[in-house]
Structure 1
Amino acid sequence: MKEKIKLVQKNSKQYRWLLRIILVLLGAWILYSSTRGIFYSMQESNAFAVKETTDDVTGYPDKVLTINGKEEPIIDIDMYSGPYHTSKETGLPNYKFSVLIDILTNTLKVVFIFIIIIIVYKMNEEIIKDISPFSKKNVKRLRVISILVLAFIFVPIYTEFILTLLVFLKSAVQFTIMDFLLIFLSFAIYGISYIIEYACALQKEVDETI
């Protein structure tokens, strides 16, 4: 039994390194995205323009967003040409605010993932320290993760809805199949917290009878 526990703890130590790498990558992405957002927000709206170009692979005509004449190929210009990204007054796309809203909502999603990974990291640390996983603390952690998964879905969606409504005076709430799957996942995680809570009660009862 002790050998099995040591093996699990050994695997947890290896998993800890993976979690650390993920946290560093997510932290770097959040910093990079925030820096981009600050840079774009400091530019004038007329600095954002569309340039006609040719696709390097297909050779077909294409469009690319430019900021102060510099091409930004990582930004998908087609995302910001729809009816919910055009000014009601001019009827033209407002690329600056469209890009800023997109950066904000994507950054929010990564922040929620970052917090979830931190919670998982703390739970994994307790395995290494030989602390029982059947604790009220882990019950709360699982429920927080469940809420964070819901926040990952709803906060960016409604943030985009409110901002596009304020900027473009029109908006729409859009959900994907993946969003609904994540909602079910959130409910499943919350259900697992009840299983852990029940295990805690059983563990306490066993300890009291010994």
Structure 2
Amino acid sequence: MVCVHYGPHGERLIRRGVQLSEIIGAPLFVLNVDSSDIDEYNQSKEMYMTVWKRLADEAGAEFIIRKREGRKTTDIIVEVAEENEVTQIVIGQSAQTRWQELTKRNFINELIGKMKMMDLHVVAVQRMRAGLEETHEEGVIAYLVKNGAEYQLSDEPQGEYSLKGKFFHELHTEFENGLFRIEQEDGKARYLHICDGTLTDSL
């Protein structure tokens, strides 16, 4: 069972799950634990959900959506896994800083503590950045320009504020959906989500 939450890494996780299910000859399940409000609509997430569902259908997998409704995500993951007699769970996890490790209980440790007769496969988010070419087109120089309260994607700088970066267009979509990479002052890259040409993250 592959657990997907939000962002471009879900597609890579599902492909990893497909490979694993073929190796062990087991059915595949894709789980999304939805923490949004009932009436909340997120265009960017809907875009990812469409891709995830398509990949699940192509692989013959069952796509499951469960509302969190105040419960812990780890409880829902284990509950769905037990209902479907899952033996292998695939999740993505970003590395934590030492401070985060000391001040916040590790999600993976909490999940392992609740699992019974299951194996956990953790795919590092940092490593998935290297596989960007599997889900997105080659990056091109682009700009984020301020348009009222929003930031729009542009081929050239405009107005008083233009942020230069690289835009990675997501495969399987005709719209300007993808990731915008900028270099931060500490030298590390930051990836921002673009949906229909508009920035959906905060700068």
Could you state the TM-score of these two structures normalised by the residue count of structure 2? Answer: 0.21
Q: Indicate the structure (1 or 2) with the bigger Cα radius of gyration.
A: 1
Higher helix share: 1
| Higher-RCO chain (CA-CA 8 Å, sequence separation at least 6) | 1
Could you state the TM-score of these two structures normalised by the residue count of structure 1? Answer: 0.21
Higher strand share: 2
